Structures are given as structure tokens and as C-alpha cells.
Amino acid sequence: MLWLVLGLGLSACSRQSLLQGSAVRLMQAVGHCRYDTVNRQLPTLESLQDIKGALGRVVTSPQNVETRAEILDHATGFATVDTDFSESGGVLVPMDYNTLFAVSLYAEVETAHLTFAGLDPAADMTRLLPGFGSRTFIVHEARRTLGGEVGKAPETTDNAEFLGHFPSDGGPTINYLFSFPTREVSGMPLGLNLGIMAHEYTHLIFHHLFHVPFKDQHLEHATNSSFVTLSAFEEGLADYFGYLASKDPGYFDCSFPGSGRDVSQPKHFTAEIVSRLQSDPDADIHEAGAVWAAIAYQIGQASSHEENGRALIKMMPALLQCLRSGTAIRADFAKIAACHQQVAGSAAATVQRVYSQYMGAAAGGIR
């Protein structure tokens, strides 16, 4: 259970004093599964009162977003977070858990953004997509039903999600980063777990560097197996960049102890994992994704994580050519590994060696 101590000796803080550039007290990781309140500047934040900035706006969803199509199509029905700050020693301090959670959500998205933008300007969404902040919504206490009819199927809890929504009118993507209510998780809520939110932000990056061009070029997936394999790779990327942002290879365990998704633990593609992805449309892509992430971690350890991160960003749009066959994408393990090697530059030999060690014949044979 997460307990919040805000401190004493706070003075009343008027709305006019919620100024851009002020330090804010928020929740942040200070070690493996150790979080504490820290004072931090949020350079991309434009309004603390509304918690909005260049990276989007933190909102709540009073109603289930699947209730009506226009909610996601036009981002209607969302509400501004009811924030309450006070000032202490020049620092703006959240006065309740809801405010702390909401401003920490924005800070995590900012950390993920700065991680990507620092590695490669091509992954700086504020430069790539004009008006990015106005089309991005970070939804605190999100309400969404997946896999069933609203009112009959349960709403999602204890999770986080990125949704790149293509509006029905053909307009540009609206980005949703959902932080769902915490019900069962007894450790760090997913919305306060930096690695988890950076994982979701990686899906946002992949959406714009791969999925949007895929749609614009009218491509298709050659087979369901190809789609599932590529989805598993995307999950692995997200796990790995969650580590790059948090610097904690075991960040999943802070919310889900024993998850098996510690990226520093070596993992191999077995014939069973490969077979499931090729034959089972309901295969767990996160299981295979955890192997991809562990391989990426080993490559980063053998070369440098910064260099590997840059290569993987470059790889996202490169996959459109690496995997293309006519108007279709044909993804398999060997082709994805070969694409990584092509963009790895001076680390190409290291990439080939690590893939050979952990993928081998079960992945199509890249030796």
C-alpha cells in the first residue's frame, strides 16, 4: 500500500501562483521498487492547475470511454483533474493523493519523452507531430471496457495502456495513455510505476514510427502469425525502453512480483514459444516480448544501452522495408533480428552474436 506524507507548514496556494517553471513535489522512483516524493521541475508543463503541457493533458474519464464512439473520436466527455496544491518553501505540493497521482503521471510521460528525444530527435513527438500536446490525453482513473459489451463485461483495472485512436472521420491519431484504477495490485500502482508508463509511451512511439506509415502506405499483414510475431517484438521493445527510462531492469516486479519480466534475466526463445506464436491466435505476446527485451538488454550490456536504444528507434520505421513483401508485411524472428543487425552500425557483430546465443534454430536460424 502506498502511503503519502505531504509535510507540514504549508501555506495556502492561490491559483495564480501555479506558475510554469515552479518545482513540484511528486512521486518518483529512488531505487528498485523504492518510491518517494521528490521536488522536480517539469519543463514541458504549461499549466500545473490543469496539468497540461507540450506532452498532453491529464484528465479523468467520468464515463466509460467505450460508451459512445465520439468520446474517443473527439476526446469528449473527459474532465479536468480536480487538483489541490499548496506552497512550501517555493515548492508546489499536492495536498491529496489524487493530485499527487495526476502530476506524477505527467512527470512519468515527460521522463519517457525525454528518454526518447535524448536518444534520437526522430523520436521527439513534439517535433515530429505539430500539435502533439493538443491531441494527447493522459487519462487518470480511466474507465474502459475491453473484450465485451459495456455494462456486461467488467471494466479494466490494475493496468495501463496506450491507444492510438484513428478517428472515424479520418483525422490524425488521437493519443490516449490510460492509467486504470488500482484494485488488486498491492505494490506500486501501475500509473505510478515509471517503467510501466514508459513501456506504454514506447507503444506511442512505435505507433507513429511504424503503424501510422503502415496504414498510410496501405500495407497489410501477410498472416496472423506475422502480426502476432511483430506484436510480440513491439512488447519487447516497450519492456526494454521501460528499463532505459527507469534504469531499473526489474521494474515490472514492483507492481507484479514474480512477473518474469526482469529484462536483466537472460531468456531464450524455445521451440514451444515460437510454436505458440505461429499457431495460436491467442498466444501471449508478452511472454515472447519478455524474451525480446532480455535479448535487447544483453545487446546493450555488450555494447552500450544508449547506442542500442538509438538503433532500436531507427529500427522502428526500418521494419517497413525489412519485412515488406509487396504490399504485405511478413514478420518472422530471423527477419526482425537481421533488421536489428542492419541498423546497429558498429555494434552489428555484437547484435548478431547475442541473437545467435539466445534465439538460435528456434528463431529460424541466424547463425
Q: How far apart are CA 65 and CA 170, in angstroms?
A: 19
Does residue 198 have a pLDDT over 80?
Answer: yes
User: Who has greater pLDDT, 289 or 19?
Assistant: 289
Q: How far apart are CA 248 and CA 68, in angstroms?
A: 39
Q: What is the pLDDT of residue 21?
A: 56
The count of residues in the chain is 367
For the chain, the structural domain boundaries read 217-367
Q: What is the pLDDT of residue 270?
A: 85
Q: How far apart are CA 367 and CA 354, in angstroms?
A: 10
Per residue in 66-105, pLDDT (tens digit) is 999 999 999 999 999 999 999 988 899 999 999 999 999 9
Does residue 9 have a pLDDT over 70?
Answer: no
Please give the DSSP secondary-structure letter assigned to residue 162: E
Neighbours of 29 (CB within 10 A): 23
Q: What is the pLDDT of residue 360?
A: 61
Q: What is the pLDDT of residue 160?
A: 97
Q: How far apart are CA 355 and CA 294, in angstroms?
A: 11
Q: What is the pLDDT of residue 18?
A: 52
Closest CA to 302 of 265, 260, 349, 268: 349
Query: Do residues 118 and 200 touch, judged by C-beta distance below 8 A?
Result: no
Neighbours of 64 (CB within 10 A): 17
Does residue 4 have a pLDDT over 90?
Answer: no
Q: What is the pLDDT of residue 354?
A: 95
Per residue in 211-266, pLDDT (tens digit) is 999 999 999 999 999 999 999 999 999 999 999 999 999 999 999 999 899 999 99
Does residue 167 have a pLDDT over 50?
Answer: yes
Q: What is the pLDDT of residue 57?
A: 98
Per residue in 147-160, pLDDT (tens digit) is 888 989 999 999 99
Region 189-214: mean pLDDT is 97
The edge-to-edge listing of strands for the beta sheet with 328-329 is 220-221, 328-329, 324-325
Q: Is the dihedral of CA 202, 204, 209, 215 positive or negative?
A: positive
The pLDDT > 90 percentage for the chain reads: 80
Q: What is the pLDDT of residue 16?
A: 43
Per residue in 107-156, pLDDT (tens digit) is 999 999 999 999 999 999 999 999 999 999 999 999 999 888 898 999 99
Give the DSSP letter string of 6-19. --S-PBP--GGG--
pLDDT, averaged across the chain: 91
Closest CA to 341 of 288, 294, 297, 296: 296
Which residue matches cell numbers 512505435?
206
The pLDDT > 70 percentage for the chain reads: 92
**Most confidently predicted of 46-50, 150-154, 307-311:** 307-311
User: Who has greater pLDDT, 4 or 236?
Assistant: 236
